[in-house]
Structures are given as structure tokens and as C-alpha cells.
Chain A
């Protein structure tokens, strides 16, 4: 008995000692993102730097593959083991912010000396906003345009890149060369988010959006794309190729034009044995409404964090380092106040200028908590039309019916 008492006392004293020495108290922050899975990225690099520079905060970084991060976070949140800071692809963000899983940082951002809300582009900012409140910050952004092989254009007697989809079809016919395995154009109409990523801008150009997809203009462009495939001006495999593989076809000289984004530039500089350029995503009519896809990831602090102040400090650190994300990782900042340095690689610098212009027209997917279901309705319709299972308008009408049930729930 005596022994237990002493032990208890000792324990109490020890506990008191611990409580009285806050200088040694460390806060642990968990950060999850897809960076660092295959090569160093923003989140892993900056997390480590912050961890090294701050003795009072330990940052535990975990890299999670792209396909798993939403599921992993869902599970962790449901069981109370969620990270403090997490990074999602922008259309996935509303799934969490709309359900109170992300911390409202509106006031913190307003009071921050480092973060300026006004610096951000509108599209990326919309994707972290829900119900008028700010639940996160854009991490980086990207968009799509049309790459074209200048050598092939010259050989076909073409000087300028296409500006409308009709022109894309017209040029693709001239550029296609079956004898040399050259397709006129390549894009991605895959059964997945990439399909929606490339097709939603068309819907937006025609006056629609995620809640209104059955527009005349969208049906017309689908018919043009279908004719490209049926005539052999584009490979039928655009229906299963992702953007990275599709652009690989362009890089190897087997397609004269490619719809893709700035993440391709570095590889293209290395792989492409020809002169190339980028132009803005073609419109439906000459001088018609512009739009483009908005890609990129967001940061957010999860609502159940034990250390919101420290987590926000880390977030401020991430934002403070954003002038480094382009030179070091090739990601475009989602802000207008960061001047991109000249790389000296002419093709790369020209391409970046185009993409920065394109970003002004980029529109987010959603935000909607059930984005994935909307997205599936859109890429299913696109594929049904392109494979000829349904006329374009019927496919879009069917998608609209599905989307209506999601919006009217």
C-alpha cells in the first residue's frame, strides 16, 4: 500500500513538473498531401523546412498517392485521426468544406500580414470558398490550352494556330498523315476526371456550366470531336488515354496538335524534336466566349485540429514561400502578384505567357459537395456522344437529368 502511495505522489510530482515547463512542450502538426510520392514537391519540401526552423512545432509529413488522398482523409476524419493540414485537388475541396470538415479561416486570413486574399485569382479562390466563407487557400493552379507542332504546320502551309473548333477540325484534316502515323490532333476524353477537365470548358464557352450541360454549343463541339475520331484525324484511343499519355503522342511527333496544360512543358522541352508553341483554347465561334479548365490543388486546415494557431502559422509559411514554387517545382502560383522569372528557354517562356493569359478565363469545377457525381454524368455523356451510342444532344440531356437530381436534392 505504502509503495503505491509513494508511486502516486511521485507520478503527481512528475506530472506537475511537466506542466510547469512549457518551454519543452512541442506541438505536433500532421500534414498530408500527394507531394513527394514520386518526386519532391511543395508540401514535403516546405514541411521539412518549417520543421527544421521551428523548435516548438514538429511537422509530421505524409505523402499519399493522388487516387487515395480523399478516401484516406475521409476515413481518418470519420475515426477522429484526421491531419491538421491537408491538400486536395480543387474539385474535391467542396466535399469537405461544405460539411464543416475544414476550419473557417476567413478572419485569420483577413488579419494575416502574410496572406492577402486579394492577390489570388478568382477561380482558384472560388474553389476554397463555401457559403461566403474561406475554408482554405489555393496552393497552385494550372489550366489547358492547345499545343501545336510548328514544323508540321509549316509543312501543311498553315501559319497560325486554330482559334475555333471548326478550325481545329479543318487543320486536323490537313495535318493528318496516316502513312507516317500522324494524327491531326490529340486530347483526352477518358472515363474520369480528366475527361470532364477537358470538356467542361466547352460547356462553359457555350453559356452553360456544371448545372446546365445540355447546350447547343456543347453538342456542336461534341459532333466536331466525333467527326475527328470517325475520320481518323484523332485516334480513337483519346477515349482511354489520360492527358499525360495523350500529350506523349504529340511529343513523339505522332499528333500535330494536343490539348493539355503547363505541367507538360518541361517534358516537352526535353522530348519534342521539333518547334512547338501553345495557343489559347479554341472557342466555339470566332471571338466567342472564352473558358478553360482550372486545375491545381488547395490547402486547408481541418476543423478538428487541436492546434489551429500553429496550423495557421504553418499555412502562412507555405504561402510565404510561394515565389519558389515555379522555379523549384514548375507549379504556377494561383496569385497575380508573383512575377514568374524568365527561364531563358524561349519556348517555355512563351508557353507560360499563354497559360498565364489563359488562367484569367479558367473556371473552377463546382464547387459542389457532390462534384464527383456531376463529373461522372459529364464524362459519361461525352463518351456516349463520341462513341456514337447516342446523338450528342440526347447524351447531354441524359446527363442534365442526372445533374438535376443532384442539384435538386
Chain B
């Protein structure tokens, strides 16, 4: 008896106990729903069998049906445009801001802190605000662009199929900018100053210092920021109902919103689950990159 309690208190048992508790949570809160979701994508599901586990098995029928939907390729294309557009915008602008605020000037850290306001705001609120900014007839953005002479007539950001996905991307970049900037700022702060001093003595110019010191030293941070960005962007939901509802004619619909639409607007739960499994594979890919980049960090 005492041996077991000893083993539990300060032996390997204690470690296993701690890991086990965390694992139990993970399995119960993330693992089980995930398995349930995958299971559902291979079943025939309707509203009245929602509560049961045993349902008719249909193999890959749901997958085939999803791919055959007329909007499937449009949604796929939009998802890629949305993910890469948002990530590029968030990362490039976030990096630029992080570099800018890494300079020593009065108020740098205060202003950087203020940027967090955008990150704190709920997506639905951000969506509502951008919905007004991007409005076609009376939107602020159109007024600004017109008075600057960039456009002649109003752009209907939310209703023009050529712009609708970009309307959501613009709002999403604004929403994710602060998060990117913050993580990258932390990475920048971790680079030892003497490296730059040494490089300067050797005659390296600003671009060379950035290319040969900043970027390589930030490798793991950048990897983490990009994969978190990918996950966050694929997860983005609030902006869609607030801005375009995936319209017009699915031109701004992405996988995440589509999956929700299938499940909770069209009550086609199996197809909704199928789309989310497809997304899950993509996120899994990002997670692997993320884990690898952070592992490097621990070792380094």
C-alpha cells in the first residue's frame, strides 16, 4: 500500500498522474468530439438521429456528395484566397509594425499596446463595424477612396462578386494584425543586441542585418505565427455572418462558414461534418508545422 502511495507521490507515478489528468481532459474535450465528427461524416444523419451514435453507415457517400456540390470548387478557391490573403496581410503588416515599434522612440511601447484593442474586440463587433465602413452607398471607405481620386464610382465591397471575399479579408487582416505584431515583437525582443552591434561593426547594412540576423533568429517564431495564423484564419467565423453571409452566390463563402451553413442552416449535419473533417486535415498539417517549429525552439 505504502509503496504504491510513494510511487504515486514522488515516483514516476506522479508524472503519469499529472500527464494522465491533462490527457483525460484533452480526450474528453477535444478527442471525443473529433472522433464523433469523423464518425458522423461516414454516416447518414438527420435531425432525429442526432442524439444517437449508431446510424446507417454510408461509406464515402457524404464526401462524394460534398465534392459534387456545384459550389464546392468555388468554396475551395475562396478558402485558399481567404487563408493566404489574410495570412499574408496579417503577417507582412504585423512584421512591419513589429519592426517599427522595436525602434526606440518615445511612446513606442504605449502605442504598441493600444494596437491590442483590435485583438480584444469580438469578431461580431468587428464585423458590424466593417460592415458600415464597407457599405456600398454610404460607406466611409468609398468616401475616402473617392476623395483621394483612387476610384471614380462606389465599390460595392459586400455585394460585388469580385470584391466580396476581399471585404472579409480586409476585416480579418485588421482583426488579426495585433496578434501577429505582438508575437513577432516578442521574437524580435529575444534577439541579442550584440549580434546587431557585431554586424554593424563588420559593415552590414540594415537590409543585410534583417536578412542574415533577424529572419534566421526569428525562424521558430515565424513558423509559430504562420501556423497559428492558418488555424485562426480557418477558424474565422464571426466576420462572415456579420459581413456577407458567404454571398453573393457563395463568392465569399469559405469552408468554415459553409460547414456551419450545411449543419445549422440546411440541417444537413453529415455534410457539415464532412466539410469540417476536410478542414481538419488542413489544420493537422499546420499543427505539425507548428509543433515542429516550437520543438526547435525548446532545443535551441
Contacts and interface: CB of A to CB of B under 8 A. Distances in A.
A387 B248 contact: yes
A240 B244 contact: yes
B180 to A, nearest CB: 29
A74 interface: yes
Interface string B247-270: 111110000000001001111100
23 contacts: A74-B47, A75-B50, A77-B47, A77-B48, A78-B50, A95-B47, A95-B267, A99-B46, A99-B47, A99-B48, A189-B248, A191-B250, A236-B159, A237-B136, A237-B156, A239-B158, A240-B247, A254-B137, A370-B267, A376-B261, A380-B249, A380-B250, A383-B247
Contacts of A236: 136, 156, 159-160
Nearest to A232: B153
Interface size class of chain B, counting residues whose CB lies under 8 Å from the partner chain:
20 to 34
A372 interface: yes
Given A237-B135, A240-B158, A254-B137, A384 B245 contact: no
Contacts of B50: 74-75, 78
A408 interface: no
Given A95-B267, A191-B247, A238 B159 contact: yes
B266 A373 contact: yes
A95 B244 CA distance: 26
A75 to B, nearest CB: 7
Contacts of B158: 237, 239-240
Nearest to A92: B267
A368 interface: no
Contacts of B48: 77-78, 99, 101
The main secondary structure of chain A at its interface with chain B is helix
A139 to B, nearest CB: 22
Nearest to B156: A236
Nearest to B49: A78
A236 B154 CA distance: 10
Given A237-B137, A387-B160, A387-B251, 19 more contacts: A74-B47, A74-B50, A77-B48, A95-B47, A191-B249, A235-B156, A237-B159, A239-B156, A239-B159, A240-B247, A240-B248, A370-B267, A372-B265, A372-B266, A373-B266, A376-B266, A383-B248, A387-B248, A389-B161
Nearest to B68: A405
A259 interface: no
Contacts of A370: 266-267
Given A236-B156, A254-B137, A376-B266, A190 B47 contact: no
B85 interface: no
Lowest 7 A-B CB distances belong to which pairs? A191-B247, A383-B249, A239-B159, A236-B156, A78-B51, A383-B248, A237-B136
B203 interface: no
Contacts of B261: 376
B109 to A, nearest CB: 40
Interface residues of A, number: 36
Contacts of B136: 235-237
A386 B249 CA distance: 9
B123 interface: no
Interface in B70-90: 70-71
Contacts of A386: 248
B229 interface: no
A402 B160 CA distance: 24
B127 interface: no
B195 to A, nearest CB: 51
B215 to A, nearest CB: 41
A176 to B, nearest CB: 13
Contacts of A70: 267
B164 to A, nearest CB: 8
Contacts of B266: 370, 372-373, 376
B245 A190 contact: yes
A192 interface: yes
A163 interface: no
Given A77-B48, A236-B160, A191 B264 contact: no
Given A79-B51, A101-B48, A190 B160 contact: no
Nearest to B46: A99
A120 B51 CA distance: 37
A387 B156 CA distance: 11
Contact of B264 (A71, A95, A99, A388): A71
Contacts of A384: 249
Contacts of B160: 236, 387
